[in-house]
């Protein structure tokens, strides 16, 4: 079975883009793969966070992943900071990456424009991400489209390291879904739906109640020409609604477009489909959240299983680069 690894930041409320672009597939494919998923709390520190909120969100995201279908018995679910080898390998990756290639990362360029204080961690973020992936001999990384460049960097770093020090890392590849890889904000459909965009009316949260989902989709920005066709450039708002409905019903957006002549019924069907798709997750989350110790227990077991893989891998890396033995 192929080793699969992916991560999610505990930085805000999980939204429909996270779900359709990443999390839904993690759950669907966990039994066909050797799956490891990680709540990347260290990545969250690249931007200052309220400590109590970071703790609460780490637990919440963990339970949401389980509510979305991840089975911590069958796969590994853990928090990045519980396995110190991530930061240890991140240093080696910082020394493998060049300043130039980190400067070319689009996410860094965008996030550093918005941040009042640009931390050094925001710049080296992709080196930590490469460490996350390479530590587990990962073959496939299921992510949304925005992470393509980071995973390509991880590939380059693995190849560079292997060239310098001998075969050490598996060279990973990203797996990006054909539909749903880039869900856009409903109010600003040229920007991706994001935890950090601060657009409450444009973001569907996985825990939104049916009324909120219906309202947000009904008020989603479209255009005035009234023609239903899938055209990302000319009609980004409508294309986004078609992508959402297509992703939820496992169809192609072009095929969905052919079924409609008006925006109203398309919006109504998209809202109903999203409500139905999220219902089981919401019910399961309510049950899990009733137990205050649930997330801790899941993460503790996950960290033990993750360390059993990460510790020997890191020992191999230390030996390869010429660090002397600790024992």
Q: Applying CB under 6 A, which residues contact ligand ATP? A: 8-9, 11, 17-18, 21-22, 143-144, 146-147, 181-183, 192-196
Question: Could you tell me whether strands 3-8 and 34-39 are parallel, antiparallel, or unpaired per DSSP bridges?
Answer: parallel
Partner from ligand ATP, ligand LTN, none contacting 132, C-beta within 5 to 8 A by type: ligand LTN
Stretch near ligand LTN under the rule CB under 6 A, chosen from 1-9, 240-248, 304-312, 315-323: 1-9
Sheet of strand 3-8, all strands in order from the earlier edge strand to the far edge:
76-79, 34-39, 3-8, 140-142, 173-175
Query: In terms of CB distance, is 245 or 317 closer to ligand ATP?
Result: 245
Using CB under 6 A, count the residues that bind ligand LTN. Answer: 13
- Give the list of residues 6+ apart from residue 77 with CB closer than 8 angstroms, or none: 37, 38, 39, 62, 65, 66, 70, 298, 299, 302
Residue in 57, 109, 191, 195 annotated catalytic: 195
- Please give the Cα distance from 46 to 121 (Å, whole number): 5
User: Is 77 a residue that touches ligand LTN (CB under 6 A)?
Assistant: no
Q: Is 195 a catalytic residue?
A: yes
Should residue 147 be labelled a site residue for ligand LTN when binding is judged by CB under 6 A? Answer: yes
Rounded to whole angstroms, the Cα distance separating 41 from 214 reads 32
Residue nearest ligand ATP by beta-carbon distance? 21
10 Å Cβ neighbour count for 58? 22
Q: CA-to-CA distance for 79 and 63, rounded, in angstroms?
A: 12
CA angle 180, 183, 185 (to 5 degrees): 165
Residue 218 a catalytic site member: no
Distance CA 72, CA 285 (A): 15
Query: Quick check: 79 binds ligand LTN (CB under 6 A)?
Result: no
* 192 tagged catalytic: yes
**One residue of 24, 37, 43, 216 binding ligand LTN per CB under 6 A:** 43
Task: Choose the catalytic residue: 57, 192, 216, 235.
Answer: 192
When asked if residue 133 is in the footprint of ligand LTN (CB under 6 A), the reply is yes
Q: Is 40 in the site for ligand LTN (CB under 6 A)?
A: yes
Residues within the interface to ligand LTN (CB under 6 A): 5-7, 9, 40, 43, 129, 132-133, 141, 143, 147, 150
What residues are labeled active site?
Answer: 111, 192, 195
């Amino acid at each position: 079975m192929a080793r699969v690894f992916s991560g999610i930041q505990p930085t805000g409320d999980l939204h429909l883009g996270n779900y359709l672009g990443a999390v839904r597939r993690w759950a669907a494919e966990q039994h066909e793969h050797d799956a490891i998923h990680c709540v990347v709390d260290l990545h969250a520190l690249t931007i200052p966070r309220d400590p109590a909120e970071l703790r609460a969100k780490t637990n919440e995201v963990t339970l949401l992943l389980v509510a979305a279908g991840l089975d911590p018995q069958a796969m590994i679910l853990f928090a990045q900071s519980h396995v110190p080898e991530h930061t240890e390998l991140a240093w080696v990756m910082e020394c493998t990456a060049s300043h130039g290639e980190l400067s070319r990362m689009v996410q860094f360029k965008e996030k550093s424009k918005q941040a009042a204080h640009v931390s050094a961690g925001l710049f080296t973020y992709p080196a930590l991400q490469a460490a996350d992936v390479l530590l587990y001999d990962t073959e496939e990384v299921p992510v949304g489209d925005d992470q393509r460049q980071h995973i390509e960097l991880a590939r380059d770093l693995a190849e560079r390291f292997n060239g310098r020090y001998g075969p050490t890392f598996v060279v990973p590849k990203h797996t990006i879904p054909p539909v749903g890889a880039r869900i856009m904000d409903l109010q600003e459909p040229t920007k991706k739906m994001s935890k950090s965009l601060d657009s409450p009316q444009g973001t569907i949260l996985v825990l939104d109640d049916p009324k909120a989902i219906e309202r947000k989709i009904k008020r989603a920005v479209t255009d005035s020409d009234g023609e239903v066709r899938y055209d990302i450039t000319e009609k980004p708002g409508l294309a986004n609604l078609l992508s959402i409905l297509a992703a939820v019903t496992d169809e192609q957006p072009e095929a969905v477009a052919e079924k409609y002549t008006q925006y109203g019924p398309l919006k109504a069907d998209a809202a109903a489909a999203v409500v139905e798709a999220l219902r089981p997750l919401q019910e399961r989350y309510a049950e899990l959240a009733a137990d205050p110790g649930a997330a801790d227990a899941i993460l503790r077991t996950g960290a033990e299983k993750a360390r059993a893989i990460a510790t020997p891998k890191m020992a191999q890396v230390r030996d390869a680069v010429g660090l002397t033995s600790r024992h």
